[in-house]
């Protein structure tokens, strides 16, 4: 996240008063230089370990930069006195067909809460269809017209199935009006060959408008006091770099108060995904953002519960599509849920946690196709402990993965003790708003590596290059910073050339790893400079950093409250990876110990995931053999058992 890069880039200006510190630690105030950097996710893990000074390099100090929930503060105006609201969110799969929309209406009516707010996504695949319209119009592909007709046909057919009489007529009239406006807008995009961001957001948000209107009409037909809400009138957000938005809670609260005073009702059917800027320009909460919409509305109403309805029984210990033995997690803490979703468990949008956690509102993940399944409850850990009758803090709860990453590694003994290197690196990353997913810096200070989405690696590499070039041109760097900067600038330039990412016409960089292995993925790395005798060059022996870009990587995260403080967990994890013959390229573990993250080759990722999952969970086969009951067990015992099971 860009803000983390910014924090590191501005490290020397951080004082203890600006940071919330872990107990018993004080921030080293003079020239701050990261001694150990680890960032394995961006929630409550904005950790730095800094040396107190050269005299006591073994003393580490941890600083947590930001409390991400701190901007969620409301004026306590809502909910209206004495009203208790429950919030439901139905994803695209849940409202994907006429029958499913009817099922959703029944679920809402069965909830006996006094007041209900329901967030709905677009019917499944509709948002993709809307983005495709933009793409086609921009590329001057006239088939956008027939694609728009298909969108009209889909919603018109659904409306005919679930509505009748005046409701049907009123919906169809709005739908046709919207479609004719969209046709005009797409024509403009077609002529211009370009769509601005707000044009795009306006177009793609229509799926939510239509599904919310249809569902509200179905519920109203049942005699319920129900209104539909266009959340662009209520949820106000500011862009926050790296394809993210930050809600303005106070402004949104005021707008909701106004909306509700004009439309008092018992059931609100509201659009997910869409919002407005403070200037009332349509925007979105970005892809998959409807969960976030539900959480924002949950916080605004101080709801008693937010239920996210989806197509699986709850949060599994791993993506059930990748690990058939994954088990449902009965409870998760907010932090665990964040970590799981941040690292790819797309059953929940990671940012969903922030607003509800602030007010301690529990989230339930339920299956719309299996109402008897209790689902997963996400709440504060103390509640989990009581409910499960056991202390879950010491266990690995689940695993998640992110693919299509590149690892950028800056390495050299010359970096040790050079102030400003990390700051310069992450300053460059911040400049391009890239999303740094994981950072690891060895305590020996001679290497920093970080993972970014592969689609952002070009921008990051170019930014690194220009950042160090700039520093050189300014002549502001002193030795050995100057040496470091020169080498980094040269390395990045060479690497970019090797990747074919720069306007360079020479022959292929002889020191690169090779060309993309299919699909145009970047494959290159600047090897240490060696002379013909095979000895290292003066540059290398002086310890000046090497820069490497390692493409086709995946992150595998093991998540669990305080698991890292349990002896043996890391050992078991790495043992499982070693037994599966997985090469680990980088490791990160935040000080708050909610996860351990490893970077592996993309093609090894599923194998690695299954290996670690089976190490921490007993397989269903084992359970059915009656050897031991279901659930998690301690790593050492598990190792022994597993060996026995394998032996049997």
Ligand X SMILES: N[C@@H](CC(=O)OP(=O)(O)O)C(=O)O
Ligand Y SMILES: Nc1ncnc2c1ncn2[C@@H]1O[C@H](COP(=O)(O)OP(=O)(O)O)[C@@H](O)[C@H]1O
Question: Which residues of the shown chain bind ligand Y in the complex (CB under 6 A)?
Answer: 91-94, 288, 310-312, 315-316, 318-321, 340, 345-347, 398
For the record, the structure tokens of 181 come out as 């406006």
Smallest distance, ligand Y to C-beta of residue 424, A: 37
In order of 90, 208, 407, the CA distances from 212 in angstroms are 10, 6, 42
Calculate the CA 160 to chain-centre distance. 38
Q: Which does 311 bind (CB under 5 to 8 A by kind): ligand X, ligand Y, none?
A: ligand Y
Under the criterion CB under 6 A, does residue 92 sit at the interface with ligand X? yes
d(CA 392, CA 382): 10
Would you say 236 and 277 are in contact if contact means Cβ atoms under 8 Å apart? yes
282 is an interface residue for ligand X by CB under 6 A: no
Quote the distance between the C-alpha of residue 26 and its chain's center.
31
**Cα–Cα distance list, 296 to 52, 268, 303, 378 (Å):** 41, 14, 10, 16
CB of 175 to ligand X, least distance (A): 17
CA distances from 108 to 209, 386, 469, 624 (A): 19, 29, 59, 37
Interacting residues with ligand X between 160 and 219 (CB under 6 A): 207
Pick between residue 33 and residue 366 the one whose CB is nearest to ligand Y. Answer: 366
For the record, the structure tokens of 70 come out as 């701190």
Q: In angstroms, give the least distance from the CB of 321 to ligand Y.
A: 5
Partner from ligand X, ligand Y, none binding residue 289, C-beta < 5-8 Å depending on class: ligand X
Q: How many CA atoms lie within 13 A of 37 on its CB side?
A: 26
Of 5 and 40, nearer to ligand Y (C-beta) is: 40
Rounded (5°) CA angle 267-272-274: 125
Q: How far apart are CA 434 and CA 425, in angstroms?
A: 12
Q: Which does 312 bind (CB under 5 to 8 A by kind): ligand X, ligand Y, none?
A: ligand Y
Residue whose C-alpha is closest to residue 108's, from 256, 25, 254, 228: 228
- Residue 125 or 174 having the CB closest to ligand Y: 125
| 288 counts as binding ligand X under rule CB under 6 A | yes
Token representation of residue 14: 């951080």
Task: Return the structure tokens found at 288.
Answer: 């998959």
287 binds, among ligand Y, ligand X, none (CB under 5 to 8 A by kind): ligand X
Which single residue brings its beta carbon nearest to ligand Y? 91
Q: Which of 34, 51, 79, 91 binds ligand X (CB under 6 A)?
A: 91
Distances (CA, A) of 518 to 513, 523, 526: 14, 10, 20
Task: Write down the least CB distance from residue 201 to ligand Y, Å.
Answer: 19
| Comparison of 51 and 247: residue with beta carbon closer to ligand X | 247
What six digits make up the tokens of 579? 């037994």
Of the pair 295, 591, the CB lying nearest ligand X is at 295
Q: Which entry of ligand Y, ligand X, none binds 480, CB below 5 to 8 A by partner kind?
A: none
With CB under 5 to 8 Å by kind, the binding choice for 450 among ligand X, ligand Y, none is none
Length of the chain: 648
CA-nearest of 70, 24, 66, 23 to 47 is 66
Please tell me whether residue 316 binds ligand X under the rule CB under 6 A.
Answer: no
Structure tokens at 605: 């990722």
The gap from C-alpha 484 to its chain's centroid, in whole angstroms, comes to 33
Cβ proximity to ligand X: between 288 and 540 the closer is 288
Q: Look at residue 594 and give the partner it binds from ligand Y, ligand X, none, a contact being a CB closer than 5 to 8 Å depending on partner kind.
A: none
CB of 636 to ligand X, least distance (A): 40
Residue nearest to ligand X (CB): 92
* Burial 335-357, CB ≥16 within 10 A → b, else e: bbbbbbbbbbbebbbbbbbbbbb
Nearer to ligand X, 94 or 326 (CB): 94
Whether the link from the prior residue into 79 is cis, omega within 30° of 0, is yes
User: What are φ and ψ of residue 2, in 5° steps?
Assistant: -60, -35
Place of tokens 């600006």: 18
Binding mask 235-274 for ligand X (x = CB under 6 A): -------------------------------------xx-
Q: How far is the CB of 322 from ligand Y (least distance, A)?
A: 8
When CB distances are held under 5 to 8 angstroms depending on the partner's kind, the choice from ligand X, ligand Y, none that residue 87 binds is none
| Among ligand Y, ligand X, none, partner that 273 touches (CB below 5 to 8 angstroms by kind) | ligand X
- Residue 289 touches ligand X, criterion: CB under 6 A: yes
Q: Under DSSP, is residue 591 helix (H, G, I), strand (E, B) or coil?
A: coil
Nearer to ligand X, 309 or 334 (CB): 309
Per CB under 6 A, which of residues 109..148 are in contact with ligand X? 121-122, 127
Residue 272 partner contact from ligand Y, ligand X, none using kind-dependent CB cut-offs of 5 to 8 Å: ligand X
- Closest to ligand X by CB, 272 vs 545, is 272
Q: Write the secondary structure of 623-637 as one string of H (helix), E (strand) and C (coil).
A: HHCCCCCCCECCHHH
Report the nearest approach of ligand Y to the CB of residue 93 (Å). 4
Token pair 């709005």 is found at 174
Q: How far is the CB of 316 from ligand Y (least distance, A)?
A: 4
Partner whose binding site includes residue 127, from ligand Y, ligand X, none (CB under 5 to 8 Å by kind): ligand X
CB of 231 to ligand X, least distance (A): 12
Counting contacts by CB under 6 A, is residue 230 touching ligand X? no
Select 41 or 127, whichever has its Cβ closest to ligand X.
Answer: 127
Contact footprint for ligand X (CB under 6 A): 91-92, 121-122, 127, 207, 272-273, 287-290
């Amino acid at each position: 996240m860009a803000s983390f890069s910014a924090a590191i880039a501005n490290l020397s200006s951080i004082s203890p008063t600006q940071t919330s510190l872990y107990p018993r630690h004080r921030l080293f105030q003079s020239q701050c230089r990261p001694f150990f950097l680890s960032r394995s996710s961006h929630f409550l893990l904005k950790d730095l370990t800094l040396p107190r000074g050269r005299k006591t390099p073994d003393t580490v100090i941890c600083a947590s930069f930001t409390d991400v929930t701190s901007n969620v503060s409301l004026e306590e105006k809502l909910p209206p006195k004495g009203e208790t609201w429950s919030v439901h969110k139905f994803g695209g799969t849940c409202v994907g067909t006429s029958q499913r929309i009817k099922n959703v209406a029944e679920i809402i009516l069965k909830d006996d809460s006094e007041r209900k707010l329901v967030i709905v996504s677009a019917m499944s695949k509709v948002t993709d269809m809307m983005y495709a319209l933009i793409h086609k119009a921009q590329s001057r592909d006239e088939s956008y017209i027939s694609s728009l007709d298909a969108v009209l046909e889909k919603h018109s057919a659904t409306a005919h199935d679930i509505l009748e009489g005046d409701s049907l007529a009123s919906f169809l009239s709005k739908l046709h009006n919207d479609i004719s406006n969209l046709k005009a807008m797409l024509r403009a995009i077609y002529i211009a060959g370009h769509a601005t961001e707000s044009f795009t957001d306006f177009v793609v948000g229509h799926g939510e408008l239509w599904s919310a209107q249809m569902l509200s009409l179905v519920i109203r037909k049942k005699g319920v006091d129900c209104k539909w809400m266009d959340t662009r009138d209520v949820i106000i957000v500011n862009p926050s770099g790296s394809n993210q938005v930050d809600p303005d809670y106070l402004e949104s609260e005021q707008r909701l108060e106004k909306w509700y005073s004009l439309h008092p009702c018992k059931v609100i059917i509201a659009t997910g995904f869409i919002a407005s800027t403070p200037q009332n320009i349509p925007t979105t909460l970005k892809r998959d953002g409807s969960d976030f919409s539900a959480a924002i509305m949950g916080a605004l109403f101080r709801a008693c519960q937010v239920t996210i309805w989806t197509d699986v029984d709850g949060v599994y210990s791993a993506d059930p599509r990748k690990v058939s033995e994954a088990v449902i997690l009965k409870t998760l803490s907010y932090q665990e849920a964040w970590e799981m979703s941040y690292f790819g468990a797309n059953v929940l949008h990671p940012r969903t946690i922030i607003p509800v956690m602030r007010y301690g509102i529990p989230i339930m993940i339920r299956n719309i196709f299996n109402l008897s399944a209790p689902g997963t409850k996400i709440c504060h850990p103390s509640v989990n402990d009581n409910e499960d009758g056991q202390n879950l803090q010491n266990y690995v709860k689940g695993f998640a993965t992110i693919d299509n990453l590149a690892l950028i590694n800056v390495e050299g003994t010359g970096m040790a003790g050079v102030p400003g290197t990390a700051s310069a690196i992450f300053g460059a990353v911040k400049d391009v708003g890239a999303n740094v997913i994981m950072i690891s810096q060895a305590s020996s200070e001679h290497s920093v590596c970080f993972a970014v989405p592969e689609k952002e690696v070009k921008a990051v590499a170019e930014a690194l290059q220009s950042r160090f070039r700039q520093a050189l041109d300014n002549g502001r760097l002193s030795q050995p910073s100057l040496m470091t900067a020169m080498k980094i600038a040269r390395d990045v330039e060479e690497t970019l050339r090797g990747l074919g990412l720069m306007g360079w016409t020479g022959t292929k960089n002889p020191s690169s790893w090779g060309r993309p292995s299919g699909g145009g993925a970047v494959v290159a790395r600047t090897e240490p400079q060696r002379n013909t005798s095979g000895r290292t060059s003066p540059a290398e022996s002086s310890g000046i950093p090497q820069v490497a870009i390692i493409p086709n990587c995946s992150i595998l995260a093991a998540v669990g409250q305080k698991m890292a403080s349990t002896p043996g967990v890391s050992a078991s994890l790495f043992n499982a990876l070693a037994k599966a013959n997985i090469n680990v390229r980088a490791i990160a573990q935040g000080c708050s110990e909610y996860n351990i993250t490893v970077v592996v080759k993309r093609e090894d990722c599923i194998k690695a995931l299954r290996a670690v999952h089976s190490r921490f969970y007993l397989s269903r086969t084992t359970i059915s053999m009656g050897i031991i009951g279901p659930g998690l067990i301690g790593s050492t015992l598990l190792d022994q058992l597993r060996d026995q099971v394998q032996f049997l």
